[in-house]
Amino acid sequence: MIRVLVAEDSAVTREYLAYLLGQDPMLRVVGLARDGQEALEQAEQLKPDVILMDVHMPRLDGYEATRRIMERIPTPIVMVSASLDRDEVAISFEALKAGAVTLVDKPRGPDHPAQAESARRLVETVKLMAEVKVVRRFPRRERPVTPPSFPGPSDRTIRLVAIAASTGGPQVLAEILAGLQANFAPAILIVQHIAPGFTEGLAQWLGHATPLEVKVSAPAEGVRPGVVYLAPEGYQMGITKDGRIRLTKDLFEDGFRPSASYLFHSVAEAYGRSAVGVVLTGMGRDGASGLRQLREAGGVTIAQDETTSVVFGMPAEAIRLGAAEYILPRGQIAPAIRSLVTRG
d(CA 175, CA 202): 14
At position 16, the amino acid (one-letter code) is Y
* 315 and 285 Cβ atoms separated by less than 8 Å: no
Q: Which residues 6+ apart lie within 8 Å of 83 measured at CB?
A: 89, 105, 106, 195, 196, 197, 198, 201
The DSSP letter of residue 246 is E
What pLDDT score was predicted for residue 151?
A: 52
Tell me whether residue 305 is one of the annotated catalytic residues. no
Return the closest-CA partner of residue 343 out of 160, 151, 184. Answer: 151
Phi-psi region of 298 (alpha: psi -120 to 50; beta: other; left: phi over 0): left
What pLDDT score was predicted for residue 110?
A: 75
DSSP 104-166: EEPPPPTTSTTHHHHHHHHHHHHHHHTT-------SSPPPPPPPP-----SS----EEEEEE-
pLDDT by 10s per residue, the chain, length 344: 999 999 999 999 999 999 999 999 999 999 999 999 999 999 999 999 999 999 889 999 999 999 999 999 999 999 998 766 667 778 889 989 889 999 998 887 777 777 788 889 999 999 999 988 876 665 544 444 444 556 555 578 999 999 999 999 999 999 999 999 999 999 999 999 998 889 999 999 999 999 999 999 999 999 999 999 999 999 999 999 999 999 999 888 888 999 999 999 999 999 999 999 999 999 999 999 999 999 999 999 999 999 999 999 999 999 999 999 999 999 999 999 999 987 65
Residues 261, 286, 289, 309: which is the catalytic one? 286
Neighbours of 240 (CB within 10 A): 14
Residues 83, 118, 166, 309: which is the catalytic one? 166
What pLDDT score was predicted for residue 131?
A: 86
Tell me whether residue 166 is one of the annotated catalytic residues. yes
In this chain, the answer to whether the domains covering 2-129 and 160-343 adopt an identical fold is yes
d(CA 170, CA 234): 18
Domain locations along the chain: 2-129, 160-343
Query: What CATH class does 2-129 carry?
Result: alpha beta
Tell me whether residue 259 is one of the annotated catalytic residues. no
pTM score of the predicted model: 0.89
What pLDDT score was predicted for residue 176?
A: 97
d(CA 298, CA 311): 28
What pLDDT score was predicted for residue 143?
A: 46
Residues 193, 217, 274, 289: which is the catalytic one? 193
What pLDDT score was predicted for residue 344?
A: 52
What pLDDT score was predicted for residue 27?
A: 96
From the DSSP assignment, how many helices (H) and strands (E) are in the chain?
11, 14
Indicate the pairing of strand 2-7 with strand 50-54: parallel
Assign domain 160-343 to its CATH architecture.
3-Layer(aba) Sandwich (3.40)
